């Protein structure tokens, strides 16, 4: 099983530009920050097996990319107590070969 890929910045930017040009799925989602302290609204664009995310819809460069090869998506069921600032967020867990997790 492939654990990672080698890609340089110019290749990544080329693929990100292709993602913007193609008519593929895209839209705003909340992404939990890397330190897990807050939710951030980000623009996501799916291209082939890559999920790019940007600061906003007009950002020229992606903030990050998730390689979806071998990943799964699972809805996390949480108690709906209606309390707290995260109570209205629907959470989805994406695991990248058991090494990286994204909460969107």
Q: What is the pLDDT of residue 83?
A: 56
State the CATH number of the domain containing residue 97. Answer: 2.30.29.30
Q: What is the pLDDT of residue 55?
A: 93
Sorted by sequence, the CB contacts under 8 Å of residue 41 that are 6+ apart come out as 28, 29, 30, 31
Number of domains present in the structure of the chain: 1
Q: What stretches of 3-98 adopt beta strand conformation (E)? A: 26-32, 39-47, 50-54, 64-67, 72-75, 92-96
Answer yes or no: is 81 within a domain. yes
Using a 10 angstrom Cβ sphere, with 0-12 exposed, 13-18 middle and 19 or more buried, the burial of residue 12 is: middle
pTM: 0.71
Condensed to tens digits (0 to 9), the pLDDT of residues 77-89 reads 655 555 556 555 5
**What residue ranges of the chain have pLDDT lower than 70?**
1-5, 75-102, 104
């Amino acid at each position: 099983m492939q654990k990672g890929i080698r890609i340089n910045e110019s290749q990544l930017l080329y693929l990100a530009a292709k993602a913007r040009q193609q008519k593929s799925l895209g839209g705003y989602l909340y992404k939990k920050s890397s330190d897990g302290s807050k939710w951030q609204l980000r623009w996501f664009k799916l291209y082939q097996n890559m999920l790019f995310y940007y600061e906003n819809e007009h950002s020229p460069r992606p903030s990050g990319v998730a390689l979806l090869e071998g990943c799964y998506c699972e809805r996390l069921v949480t108690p709906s107590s209606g309390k707290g600032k995260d109570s209205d967020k629907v959470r989805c867990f994406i695991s990248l070969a058991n090494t990286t997790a994204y909460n969107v």
